[in-house]
Structure 1
């Protein structure tokens, strides 16, 4: 098959899992049990790994044109196909639980994929191709006709039940194929329900009614949040994407929907981002605070505290499974060909074993920012987490680590890691009145000041005239843009201002994009949004606005950002949709609205 561009995919979510649906009408990624479970449709990683296509038979031929948009304030996607014979809309969603409203969204999602076809004009011939391949394409299911006209696909631990409303399914060995016609005003619904092989067969949802219910559930959730700053529509949409990446049962935030979409086509930096990084989790909380969605802070912090457990001398894990699992060991799926031939395809992520000293600072910064929603006295588990993280930082800040970019070579004294250690103790000192008698604010303050002195002395590189990525290193690293954003140095400080200019000129990739380091193959969107914030704080509001506008242009046609942008082609690369990219947008928009925010 011709490989779709990463930007050609739309994102569906039920806050349990998510799916990718292409402009060509094919669902090419769905892990129905939860975000980090095995896929049943995996064509984005291999043409033989399963898909569910529903589109006009004329799709891709001359005269075929596609328009698509999300139903307002939802992750329900409506794709309109215009053909020489007429026009038809296909509306796709992952079903919400019936009656779910507000913050109940996703708590008990039924794991049902909904597809509703609506004739708009003329008479359009449609094609259906349902080809599930569970376990990342390892399993080919048996297909069984059901008394109610549905088709049951069974393989290994998975069953899927396809229902086709008024369209008799044609089973062709290991797939269902069918063609049918839709006239103007006609509506035809399809649904695919997921279940476990040795449980009860999943009950059917009526697609049209379930779709309407899902739209209402999403809109009711968004109506409870009010953001009045600049770039309102983009912020609300990014907040919706972040909600869609949240595993509602626990509150964990998946860093992205996908695994192994490459940083560079044909490259081997292909990692599984379907887990919850504490760094991303903390940044997401702050972004949702900006987007006026702070009401779930206590529950989300409870997930973090329970996942971390009692903090001891060992490094706090960088990431967890969505229900707090620690061991997410990495392995390669040798049978998959990879997106654009990019190998290996990885499941799991061995970064969980790394020491990354910035993580406690991210978490404690989020606790401080959301303190007004957590009560004057923190609950026991949260208090123990804050105390434990502060003590661990006090004991380990001087050690080398793998840094914010999770390098897989050697430990170094990364500057941003040290700065986030400073943040951890600075916020712990401020939180001390809420932490009880074991808070050692005086000692934390002394170590905090020692860290600051060390960073200012050892982080500056005279030859380059900038703060380097690691102590003693002349190599630029865009993560140093965080220094003004966390309050370590003002952006107007002469050395910090020189560093911002050095990063912008030395790591700039055109069109406002910033690479993480000089060998990075693509512009990294979170860093690019950090530069917007730094320019605002440096008093360059006009230049910051112009940069922000250019970055908005890198979203796809439905407002989604992947991880990176190839500066040569402008193509999106990396896993998608990427939480950090949307977090960066929200934070930069708010900084443009209120430069005084902390």
Structure 2
């Protein structure tokens, strides 16, 4: 049975990721890419669907754990009645080779350990052919996949798993190295575990040491940025929403989605966080990924893509996996890739404008590409869409989507680059003015004076907290305060923000989900924008208190069961944390900065 979501740590090497439970079991790993079929699937199945546990034989052993010095290298210190030992887990950076290394080291006394390895390819379904090559090397093969495991401690077959029992004394180390390779080629070469550890720590130290200061929140901001870096796919610059699939938004429920892909919208928020933190190289890599992924006809723009920009992400169910705590179905792929979500156009144009303002250059053809997209958006902005939350129901005229369409034309009109045809500026400004008038006429509740979820509706939607963070209206406009107040009245649950009303099942699924953490961080930024700084700080402190002991956040939180819910760790949550922290540190909204006009930000980055 899988552990609580908050009991997991993530290992990563910017190509893939693995989740390690507090009990020493790796219950999830997809190799060689984030979106590859998993070889350890106990997280969303049973132990027999694949896991790799290394832990003391003493059932009463206790442990503490931490990430080493701004890295994704996990150190777990175990204490037993006979001694202490530590296990260092990481995914090495070594060319194209992808794998997991675990080093067991004695600290004092003598500690007996058990290692239990159960490999199941194809999401826990394919039993491999296991073969021993020599005393220290075994291989497991099924179909296209090969795993080679090397250790001075021999793993022996017991039933349908491989087991080793060994002891470590003070100063002794026992390494285990697992590497993936194509099954039709020779096994990947051996890796020196200690050299790989040194190199991995050096990589993370160089990277996390470049982070801009964010005042008293610098440590937790740096941790979130390391998570975001770990969720990036180094070969292409794509950034996955999360390394997992089908961790439920409600325990036992059906809101179980595959997040191992690159959402265009999420990436724009990640861009703003990276730029604010000083990581221009990563922002440039994201820029190039976007250009490749969305190039071509603008009517083919997708909500999400594969790691290299793949478009076909068909969704299917995996019936042989029991689901996390019984939450079924387990889904692979994501049908939302084919949805029409109008807001993406505005997010992309706004993100590029933000990047340019902070020194990230665009390609020479950027104006031409942008003009093609805006011409398409000019034709379609009046159409209903599925909205930011990918509601699987009838399309609607979502206010957030319309405001993001306005943002696209507004930003395009504001851009002043050499050689631009001034006719474009007049044209885009005219369309922006038309959309703005439409929203104010149809997207504001005349009784409450606040924005609504969609035209003609009385319902609210937490995406309106992003609407208020654009410069669609000035911060002192009464409709801004009224919208924040209405969301506090209708969508706050024990102090946390719900995305929208899911209790009635109006989105086509059974009712219920946890409170969406990014929305609560957006409320922090709105408090900053409105000058409610004490409330902003109080809410931010509550939110970061939901992180697990390693500073990791999932997508949602259930204040009733006091558990994290949804895929984990979630990029959207960590991006929202970073931007909220910068907002508090500098006294302005970091998300609003990415949506604001250049003239609205003074040279020091403080809202004028």
Query: TM-score, normalization: structure 2?
Result: 0.93
For the residues of structure 2 that align with 1:502 and 1:375, how far apart are their CA atoms?
Answer: 37
For the residues of structure 2 that align with 1:351 and 1:461, how far apart are their CA atoms?
Answer: 29
For the residues of structure 2 that align with 1:255 and 1:387, how far apart are their CA atoms?
Answer: 28
Which of residues 271, 280, 289 in structure 2 aligns to 1:294? Answer: 280
1:104 matched residue in structure 2: none
User: What secondary structure does 1:205 align onto?
Assistant: coil
**What displacement does 1:465 show?**
4.2
**What displacement does 1:86 show?**
1.9
**What displacement does 1:381 show?**
4.6
Q: What aligned pairs does 1:345-424 form with structure 2 within 5 A after superposition?
A: 345-372=330-357, 378-424=362-408
1:142 matched residue in structure 2: 129
**What displacement does 1:505 show?**
2.4
Going from structure 1 to structure 2, the CA distance change for 1:34 and 1:435 (only over 3 Å counts) comes to farther
For the residues of structure 2 that align with 1:301 and 1:172, how far apart are their CA atoms?
Answer: 50
Which of residues 68, 75, 78 in structure 2 aligns to 1:78? Answer: 75
Is residue 516 of structure 1 aligned with residue 499 of structure 2?
yes
Which of residues 540, 549, 557 in structure 2 aligns to 1:565? Answer: 557
For the residues of structure 2 that align with 1:463 and 1:336, how far apart are their CA atoms?
Answer: 49
**What displacement does 1:173 show?**
4.9
User: Which segment drifts farther, 210-219 or 226-235?
Assistant: 226-235
For the residues of structure 2 that align with 1:439 and 1:456, how far apart are their CA atoms?
Answer: 26
2:450 matched residue in structure 1: 466
1:50 matched residue in structure 2: 50
* CA contact 1:141–1:174 (8 Å) conserved in 2: no
For the residues of structure 2 that align with 1:114 and 1:23, how far apart are their CA atoms?
Answer: 17
**What displacement does 1:382 show?**
3.3
Q: What aligned pairs does 1:85-164 form with structure 2 within 5 A after superposition?
A: 85-97=82-94, 108-147=95-134, 149-164=136-151
Going from structure 1 to structure 2, the CA distance change for 1:464 and 1:176 (only over 3 Å counts) comes to same
Q: 1:49-100 deviations in whole A, cap 9, x for unaligned?
A: 20110001124x3xx3221110111011111122222221111000112xxx
Q: What aligned pairs does 1:186-335 form with structure 2 within 5 A after superposition?
A: 186-312=172-298, 314-335=299-320
For the residues of structure 2 that align with 1:435 and 1:37, how far apart are their CA atoms?
Answer: 45
* CA contact 1:509–1:522 (8 Å) conserved in 2: no
For the residues of structure 1 that align with 2:89 and 2:51, how far apart are their CA atoms?
Answer: 14
**What displacement does 1:199 show?**
1.6
1:551 matched residue in structure 2: 543
**What displacement does 1:151 show?**
0.9
1:591 matched residue in structure 2: 583
Going from structure 1 to structure 2, the CA distance change for 1:296 and 1:168 (only over 3 Å counts) comes to closer
For the residues of structure 2 that align with 1:8 and 1:375, how far apart are their CA atoms?
Answer: 38
For the residues of structure 2 that align with 1:217 and 1:126, how far apart are their CA atoms?
Answer: 30
Q: 1:507-546 deviations in whole A, cap 9, x for unaligned?
A: 1111x31100122521100000000000000011111001
Is residue 580 of structure 1 aligned with residue 572 of structure 2?
yes
Is residue 428 of structure 1 aligned with residue 412 of structure 2?
yes
Aligned residues: 580
* CA contact 1:492–1:537 (8 Å) conserved in 2: no
Q: 1:193-232 deviations in whole A, cap 9, x for unaligned?
A: 1101012211111112211211111111222333344411
Going from structure 1 to structure 2, the CA distance change for 1:477 and 1:22 (only over 3 Å counts) comes to same
* CA contact 1:11–1:19 (8 Å) conserved in 2: yes
For the aligned residue pairs, the C-alpha RMSD in angstroms reads 1.6
Which of residues 529, 532, 537 in structure 1 aligns to 2:521? Answer: 529
Going from structure 1 to structure 2, the CA distance change for 1:435 and 1:509 (only over 3 Å counts) comes to farther
Structure 2 residues not aligned, in runs of 5+? 503-511, 594-608
Moved over 6 A (4+): none
User: What secondary structure does 2:579 align onto?
Assistant: helix
Is residue 68 of structure 1 aligned with residue 65 of structure 2?
yes
**What displacement does 1:109 show?**
4.1
**What displacement does 1:315 show?**
4.9
Q: 1:98-136 deviations in whole A, cap 9, x for unaligned?
A: xxxxxxxxxx34202010111122211100001110110
1:102 matched residue in structure 2: none
User: What secondary structure does 2:256 align onto?
Assistant: coil
1:103 matched residue in structure 2: none
For the residues of structure 2 that align with 1:281 and 1:23, how far apart are their CA atoms?
Answer: 30
Q: What aligned pairs does 1:6-17 form with structure 2 within 5 A after superposition?
A: 6-17=5-16
Query: TM-score, normalization: structure 1?
Result: 0.94
User: Which segment drifts farther, 180-189 or 13-22?
Assistant: 180-189
1:453 matched residue in structure 2: 437
* CA contact 2:240–2:571 (8 Å) conserved in 1: yes
* CA contact 1:532–1:588 (8 Å) conserved in 2: yes
